[in-house]
Amino acid sequence: MKVYVASSWKNETLQPTVVSGLRKLGCEVYDFRHPKPGDDGFSWSEIDPQWRSWNMAQFRDALGHPLAVDGFKSDMDALKACDACVLVLPCGKSAHLELGYAVGAGKKTVILGLPMNGPHEPELMYKMCDAVFGSLGELYAWAGEQLAPRVAGATTGAHAGDARG
């Protein structure tokens, strides 16, 4: 199963833990921090170290910068190719847009919000997703269930959804 993990650069501990854990289960995971070997992911500071002080015109111009175009393409290609999107809280606008895209594209979508990350404001629109989890164990159990039909199919020679079993 191809999984897109949507989160924030500020989520320094949980996001890498989720990426690692899903990979150990056998998932192919897209990690925006390391989208490919030798690539440390897109950062606005690569375009301009003073990016936090941009006005709207500067921001719009930066969206067309080759580094922004390449970073967007890398993320969107992975998002389009994924089977599932996992939103790891806390996160911001980009991660929520990525999750919204995945919901609209009919992909499996889940949210992970751990109590140790502080209180979470209830969000009604999370009902769009397949599940909301409060522990890594719940997330990993779900991922294992999603992988089970593929593993069983590979073992028996059948394909997931194949009536020949």
Task: Give the CATH number for residue 22.
Answer: 3.40.50.280
Residue 109 DSSP code: E
Determine, yes or no, domain membership for 96: yes
Determine, yes or no, domain membership for 112: yes
Count the neighbouring beta carbons within 10 Å of the beta carbon of residue 116: 8
Tell me which residue range forms the domain holding 147. 2-33+83-156
CA dihedral for 89, 23, 29, 143, sign (positive or negative): negative
Q: How does pLDDT run across 20-61, given as a tens digit for each residue?
A: 999 999 999 999 999 998 999 999 999 999 999 999 999 999
Q: How does pLDDT run across 84-114, given as a tens digit for each residue?
A: 999 999 999 999 999 999 999 999 999 998 7
Determine, yes or no, domain membership for 75: no
The pLDDT value recorded for residue 152 is 57
Determine, yes or no, domain membership for 60: no
Nearest one of 91, 88, 46, 52 to 70, comparing CA atoms:
46
Determine, yes or no, domain membership for 115: yes
Determine, yes or no, domain membership for 106: yes
What CA–CA distance (Å, rounded) separates 61 from 49?
15
For the chain, how many structural domains are there in total?
1
Burial 132-149 (b: 16+ CB within 10 A, else e): bbeeeeebbebbeebeee
Determine, yes or no, domain membership for 90: yes
Determine, yes or no, domain membership for 162: no
Mean pLDDT across the chain, nearest whole number? 89
